[in-house]
Structure formats: structure tokens, C-alpha cells
């Protein structure tokens, strides 16, 4: 156990010896500087207790967890958080961002048809709508947004991040990411940053932020994190997942009982979907501790 814990801490140290830039708007701190040793210990122990230590050592599983109950003091913990993996449909959140940036800048209109298309892309993971919205934003334009100094959601300094270099269909990749040759990729840390930037209003203006968050709510596919949280009806989940062959991913902002946290996991294993369904439950239980009922005598 001690050897494994030292291994994990070594991975984390490598992961955060990266950027000096801040997420930097409105006085909110950067997630790069928000590591919490106590939360790290809880995350590691949970994954070990679930028997996922081998998956972590082999880098088949990556997890980032961020407590954002206090947005001005986020607490972050990661295991393999900067390992970039194929992420299937999870990077559709990047297309969502691209569309809203273009809407904010007046290059697209958030009319009824666009709103419906974006919502289907996120809630139901529609490939048709994802490809349609990608082409409306523009393939090169989306990659420009992701790599811009404003967002840095794909950055070589931190081993990449969110990437969309292929339509969601049978066509080939038009631009694979330069570091890992992936068509649809992510790191858990960069996907977690997407949700933190969204929740702190650092992606687009407040009105559009509410629209984006609403589209991420009411998931239409009940697997992975949603399935794992089925016993917690008070939990509100804003999420985007992805699956293809042996790759499984999920990302979510979870709100429950006055607490808020971000959880992102990527797995490269045929059992990955099951891993994600299993790990979210114990994580939710320590992130949202149940209140003890008060009794009078």
C-alpha cells in the first residue's frame, strides 16, 4: 500500500509541475494550483479499495476530482490526470464550447433549431448533431478556440487536453492531436477545467453559461456515473460521457445537499464502463456526507 501510494504521489507530482498561467478571470484560482492532499488521499484509498490499483499503475484509468462547493477555494485531486486517452463522445463538450463562443461573438444564432441540436448532441450523444455543429463552428476554428490563450483546454505544456480532430461518423480524421495522434481525446484534468470554467462563468457570458449548463443537465443516457448515482435521487448531474470499443469516459458536475463537485474518469479497458459506475458511488458518499438525524430524548 505504501509503495502504491508513493507511486501515485509521484504521478501527481509529475502532473502538476506544469503551467504557470492561471485560469485567471474574476479572481478565481486556477485548478493547477488547487491540489488538496487530504482529498488526494481519499481518492487514492477509494480506488485501491475498489481493486483498481492495477488499472492505475498500467495507466488504463485516469480520474480527476474537484470539490467546488466553495468556488473560490476549489480542492483538486488526480490520478493519471494528465494522461491523454481516446475519449469517444466526451469531447463533444468542446464542440458545445465552440458553438457558444461563436454565438457570443455573433457568428452563430442560438435559435430553436440550434438549441435543439446542441441539446441532442450532449444529452443523447447524437453523432449527427455533433458533426453538424462541428461544421457550423468550423473545424479549424474549434481547434483554435481550444488552444487559445483564453481557454488553453488543449495545451502541450500539460500533455494536451480536449481535442476534436474528426467528425462523429465514418469519415477519417482531418487533424489528429500533435502529441498523441488522437482523433477525439481528453485528459481528466482538462475536462475538469472545462466544468470549473463553466461554473465560474469563465467560458461565456452569464446568460449563455446558463444555457450551456442546462444542456448538460437531465442526461438522456443512464449509464456510468448516472447509473452509479441512481440511489441518490437528490443528486443533480450535469454530464457528458463517451464509449467506443474498449474506451469508456464520463465527466460530470454533481450538485447535492449544498455540495458541488466535478468528477472526470477515462478508462481504456472493456470493463471501463463498470469501473466508472462503481467508483462514483463511494466518491459521492465522501464528497456529500450524509447528515445525521437529530433526535431528542
Tell me whether residue 112 is in a domain.
yes
Cell 457570458: give the residue: 205
- What distance in Å separates the CA atoms of residue 250 and residue 288, rounded to the nearest whole number? 19
- What distance in Å separates the CA atoms of residue 134 and residue 93, rounded to the nearest whole number? 11
Q: Give the pLDDT confidence of 71-101 residue by residue, as tens digits.
A: 999 999 999 999 999 999 999 999 999 999 9
Cβ-contact 253, 239 below 8 angstroms: yes
Residues of the chain with pLDDT under 70: 1-26, 291-297
Tell me whether residue 30 is in a domain.
no
For residue 27 the three cell numbers come to 479572481
C-beta atoms surrounding 4 within 10 Å: 15
Q: What is the DSSP string of 158-170?
A: GTEE-EE-S-SSS
DSSP state of 86: E
- What distance in Å separates the CA atoms of residue 293 and residue 148, rounded to the nearest whole number? 49
Tell me whether residue 49 is in a domain.
no
Give CA 264 to chain center in angstroms: 4
Tell me whether residue 196 is in a domain.
yes
Neighbouring-strand partners of residue 65: 77, 263
Cell 509541475: give the residue: 17
- What distance in Å separates the CA atoms of residue 12 and residue 111, rounded to the nearest whole number? 43
Tell me whether residue 19 is in a domain.
no
Tell me whether residue 293 is in a domain.
no
Cell 488521499: give the residue: 41
Is pTM, for the whole model, over 0.75?
A: yes
Question: 190: domain CATH number?
Answer: 3.40.710.10
Tell me whether residue 217 is in a domain.
yes
pLDDT value, residue 290:
78
Name the 3-class secondary structure at 156: helix
Domain range enclosing 216 = 58-287
pLDDT value, residue 138:
98
- What distance in Å separates the CA atoms of residue 41 and residue 115, rounded to the nearest whole number? 41
What's the number of domains the chain is made of?
1
Tell me whether residue 110 is in a domain.
yes
Amino acid at each position: 500500500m505504501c509503495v502504491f501510494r508513493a507511486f501515485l504521489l509521484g504521478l501527481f507530482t509529475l502532473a502538476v509541475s506544469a503551467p504557470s498561467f492561471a485560469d485567471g478571470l474574476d479572481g478565481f484560482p486556477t485548478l493547477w494550483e488547487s491540489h488538496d492532499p487530504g482529498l488526494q488521499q481519499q481518492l487514492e484509498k477509494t480506488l485501491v479499495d475498489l481493486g483498481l490499483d492495477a488499472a492505475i499503475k498500467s495507466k488504463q484509468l485516469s480520474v480527476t476530482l474537484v470539490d467546488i462547493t466553495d468556488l473560490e477555494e476549489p480542492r483538486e485531486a488526480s490520478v493519471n490526470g494528465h494522461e491523454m486517452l481516446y475519449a469517444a463522445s466526451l469531447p463533444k463538450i468542446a464542440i458545445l464550447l465552440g458553438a457558444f463562443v461563436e454565438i457570443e461573438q455573433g457568428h452563430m444564432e442560438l435559435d430553436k433549431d440550434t438549441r435543439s441540436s446542441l441539446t441532442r448532441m450532449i444529452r443523447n450523444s447524437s453523432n449527427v448533431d455533433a458533426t453538424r455543429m462541428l461544421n457550423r463552428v468550423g473545424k479549424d476554428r474549434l481547434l483554435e478556440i481550444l488552444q487559445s490563450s483564453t481557454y488553453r483546454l488543449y495545451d502541450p505544456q500539460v500533455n494536451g487536453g480536449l481535442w476534436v480532430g474528426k467528425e462523429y461518423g465514418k469519415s477519417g480524421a482531418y487533424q489528429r492531436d500533435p502529441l498523441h495522434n488522437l482523433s477525439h481525446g481528453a485528459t481528466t484534468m482538462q475536462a475538469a477545467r472545462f466544468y470549473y470554467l463553466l461554473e465560474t462563468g469563465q467560458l461565456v457570458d452569464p446568460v449563455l453559461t446558463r444555457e450551456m449548463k442546462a444542456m448538460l443537465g437531465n442526461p438522456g443516457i443512464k449509464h456510468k456515473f448516472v447509473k452509479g448515482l441512481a440511489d441518490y435521487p437528490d443528486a443533480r448531474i450535469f454530464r457528458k460521457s463517451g464509449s467506443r470499443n474498449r474506451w469508456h469516459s464520463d465527466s460530470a458536475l454533481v450538485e447535492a445537499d449544498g455540495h458541488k463537485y466535478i468528477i472526470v474518469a477515462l478508462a481504456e479497458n472493456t470493463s471501463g464502463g463498470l469501473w466508472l459506475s462503481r467508483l462514483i458511488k463511494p466518491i459521492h458518499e465522501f464528497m456529500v456526507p450524509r447528515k445525521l438525524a437529530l433526535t431528542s430524548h
